[in-house]
Amino acid sequence: MTALDDRPLAAIEPTDAHGRVAELHASRARAQAGPSERATEAQHAKGKLTARERIELLLDAGSFQEVEQLRRHRATGFGLEAKKPYTDGVITGWGTVEGRTVFVYAHDFRIFGGALGEAHATKIHKIMDMAIAAGAPLVSLNDGAGARIQEGVSALAGYGGIFQRNTRASGVIPQISVMLGPCAGGAAYSPALTDFVFMVRETSQMFITGPDVVKAVTGEEITQNGLGGADVHAETSGVCHFAYDDERTCLEEVRFLLSLLPQNNRETSPVQRTLDPADRRCEALLDLVPADGNRPYDMTKVIEELVDDGDYLEVHERWARNIICALARLDGQVVGIVANQPQSVAGVLDIEASEKAARFVQLCDAFNIPLVTLVDVPGFLPGVGQEHGGIIRHGAKLLYAYCNATVPRISLILRKAYGGAYIVMDSQSVGADLTYAWPTNEIAVMGAEGAANVVFRRRIAEAEDPEAMRAGMVKEYKAELMHPYYAAERGLVDDVIDPAETREVLVRALAMLRSKHADLPSRKHGNPPQ
């Protein structure tokens, strides 16, 4: 016998309008309750919230408006015709985060394991289309077992529709994927197409082929978390931008990220009033950054000193740590910060750092977020592995991203800026609107020691005391070509500033550039290096 929850609405015949309304409320109550208490308990036993509990945490209280709550699948065979729960395993709708509209869909693992079927996919397609049309962010709360095998190729086609819409929405509305359970096979490509990926440790995994397939094909034995857990994707693959220990913290951070982003590519991020003075002097910077270019320091401390209330959100914090990408506010205005990290591999640019920064620059440019670049870079990482891995191609991604960006761009050189890495880190020659430098800056083709060995090689070799001659030539090269004002004298930086005045200088420059308008040549799209 068919369960009551799975009976069609027409099977119960009310006698009047009051009966019809009662029937409606009963149906809604069944849809909101989910399949059973047992299924809910099983979800909680795994340390996971239900789809509706997640939506309640993400959105402002009482703001969620559900779409197609009473949708059911039409599939037959393999027993599906006897099981037709409301929602078909995905909850879709819109609400607000800090009063601004956000669209959301959430897989309900309690129903078919959150697997995607034709009706399930159609609901997602609809909410994605609504988000694009309304010009509002889309957040997906992912907790599904992949394609619904019983529905065959129809389920796979549903993924194709999602991928197409992810691509169409790219650079138009912010797209955020929150991984709260398994995501395997083709399903993993939708998060990869979005702007940000959040994961929760222990409970979320992403991989194309699971541990069993890996073992069968390669003989390697590995756990699900070891193959595609949050820490793996946050530190090794770079697939995950943010990783957290629990769902509540994760969803709180999604809300914070949304507060820093505009609704769409035609708007700017909301400006937030701050009590942090725009002209606050940053005396601590004089001690935070050593004048000796060979001494490391923590660039995050510099960022904390500069931005409003020391508050920022670092993107990809644990991947490619030699470069920092962060969203923060300066005098209430959201900015994207790209900064070398001297504490990690001396802050050099390598393949992963170039990829990380390039995509962040593209994101900021797409959503009208001004860019501030803090430069302290000794060059690109040398080595056979880097060259064979395509450092030329990958480094060009960052160069392309900066050259293509039309948002306000300010570059600040703190200490070293050597060689091609100096050019790539948003130098004036690739289109930075304003370039500043501290008195500790050294802008050159290479470090003084390396330059002296090349330029004065013969004189050093012929000298009675080569080491003394080399030391003298290094000193001479620094005095001639690497003094702090060499670039300023040639117009390659707009000003050399007191580090303590950096915050005020940046705030004033951003205020001036707020009305900047720049057009790219007419074209279908560019062909960036891959």
Query: Which amino acids are annotated catalytic?
Result: 185-186, 420-421
Distance in angstroms (rounded) separating the CA atoms of residues 475 and 477 = 6
Q: Find out whether 424 and 448 touch, Cβ atoms under 8 Å.
A: no
Say how far apart CA 269 and CA 102 lie, in whole Å.
Answer: 14
Residue 76 burial class via C-beta count within 10 angstroms: exposed 0-12, middle 13-18, buried 19 and up:
exposed
Strands (E), 419-493: 434-437, 442-444
CA distance 199 to 384: 34
3-state secondary structure of 80: helix
List, in order, residues 6 or more apart from 147 with CB less than 8 Å away.
115, 116, 155, 156, 158, 159, 185, 186, 187
Handedness of CA 273, 367, 315, 337 (dihedral sign): negative
List Cβ neighbours of 209 (8 Å cut-off, separation of 6 or more): 184, 185, 217
State how far Cα 315 lies from the chain centre.
Answer: 6
What is the spatial distance between Cα 164 and Cα 160, in angstroms, rounded to a whole number?
6
**Two tokens at 19?**
């009966």
Strands 371-377 and 333-340: parallel
Could you give the angle at which helices 502-513 and 299-306 cross, rounded to 10 degrees?
60
Q: What is the DSSP letter of 382?
A: P
The CA–CA distances, whole Å, from 305 to 7, 296, 321, 342 equal 62, 17, 20, 17
The residues, ordered by sequence, that sit 6+ positions from 303 with a Cβ below 8 Å of its Cβ are 312, 324, 326, 328, 337, 339, 374
